[in-house]
């Protein structure tokens, strides 16, 4: 991993058109970064994406191959429960 | 953009993701299949039709998830998607938008949870889709990664 030392207000250019700016550093260690990038570049918090990734994998592993009938009847019951309360539509 | 409508039962659909589904490299094409062929319902199977690589480099031959139309169980459920996603999914008409939540099944079934934090957003007209990644934590976003199924009175 490339490590660079920057001061508040200094920038890093990544590729042609992504600019990172160190906006502020607080005494409790929080760093505020500014990111300028073309709008088609997705920017996500890594830990958010990691949790979603893990939950997707866990859900896939837990998905039963059989037992379809139980889900079908549960789903039908919940759909009917909703229909029975038209005021919430 | 918001989807303040009555929830729709899930029908058969082919989906093309604009990005890999998180956790599954290469997972872009999916078939949405009602559990009972030809019967639209709350729950459906989401089956990937690509060959997938896990992050360790291992290949996965079968990726099938259980998904649901979340509005049936969480009546006020909604997400607000950003401009980039609106553009990528071609959702200039809000009526084209539909949401699916990935179910994390448990035994007993009523203990299952649904991922309301990061739903799959779909353009119903074109089948273009993606999993939504919030820019905020679960607390800020208001909908959890593992939302317990609301109590079922008949149980």
Query: What are the pLDDT digits (tens) for B101-128?
Result: 999 999 888 899 999 999 999 999 999 9
Whether A12 is covered by a domain: the verdict is yes
Please check whether residue B82 is in contact with residue B93, taking contact to mean a CB–CB distance below 8 angstroms: no
Whether A89 is covered by a domain: the verdict is no
Residue A65's domain comprises: 44-80
Q: Do A12 and A28 have their domain in common? A: yes
CATH code of the domain containing B138: 2.30.290.10
Whether A1 is covered by a domain: the verdict is no
For chain A, the domain total comes to 2
Residues of A in contact with B77 (CB under 8 A): none
Q: Do A70 and A51 have their domain in common? A: yes
Q: Do A39 and B84 touch (CB under 8 A)?
A: yes
For chain B, the domain total comes to 1
Residue B142's domain comprises: 13-148
Residues of B in contact with A56 (CB under 8 A): 21-24, 65, 102, 115, 131
Whether B3 is covered by a domain: the verdict is no
pLDDT digits (tens, 9 = 90+) for A9-49: 999 999 999 999 999 999 999 999 999 999 888 888 999 99
Closest CA to B18 of B90, B110, B88: B88
In whole angstroms, give the CA distance from residue A82 to residue B11: 18
Q: Among B22, B104, B152, whose Cβ lies nearest the Cβ of A49?
A: B22
Query: pTM above the 0.90 mark?
Result: no
Residues of B in contact with A52 (CB under 8 A): 22-23, 115, 117-118, 131, 133, 145
Whether A85 is covered by a domain: the verdict is no
């Amino acid at each position: 991993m490339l490590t660079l030392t920057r001061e508040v207000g200094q920038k890093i250019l990544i590729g042609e058109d992504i600019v990172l700016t160190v906006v502020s550093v607080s005494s409790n260690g929080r760093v505020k970064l500014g990111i300028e990038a073309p709008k088609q570049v997705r920017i996500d918090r890594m830990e958010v994406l990691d949790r979603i990734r893990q939950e997707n994998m866990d859900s896939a592993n837990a998905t039963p191959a059989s037992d379809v009938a139980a889900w079908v009847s549960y789903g039908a019951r919940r759909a009917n429960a909703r229909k029975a309360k038209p005021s919430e539509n | 953009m918001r989807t303040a409508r009555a929830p729709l039962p899930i029908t058969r659909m082919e989906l093309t993701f604009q990005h890999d589904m998180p956790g599954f490299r290469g997972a872009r094409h999916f078939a949405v299949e009602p559990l009972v062929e030809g019967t639209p319902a709350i729950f459906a199977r989401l089956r990937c039709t690509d060959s997938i690589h896990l992050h360790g480099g291992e290949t996965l031959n079968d990726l099938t998830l259980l998904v649901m139309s979340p509005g049936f169980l969480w009546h006020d459920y909604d997400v607000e998607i950003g401009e980039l996603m609106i553009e990528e999914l071609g959702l200039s008409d809000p009526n084209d938008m539909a949401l699916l939540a990935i179910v994390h099944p448990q035994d007993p079934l009523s203990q299952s949870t649904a991922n309301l934090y990061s739903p799959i957003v779909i353009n119903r007209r074109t089948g273009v889709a993606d999993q939504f990644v919030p820019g905020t934590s679960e607390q800020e976003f208001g909908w959890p990664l593992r939302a317990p199924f609301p109590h079922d009175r008949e149980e």
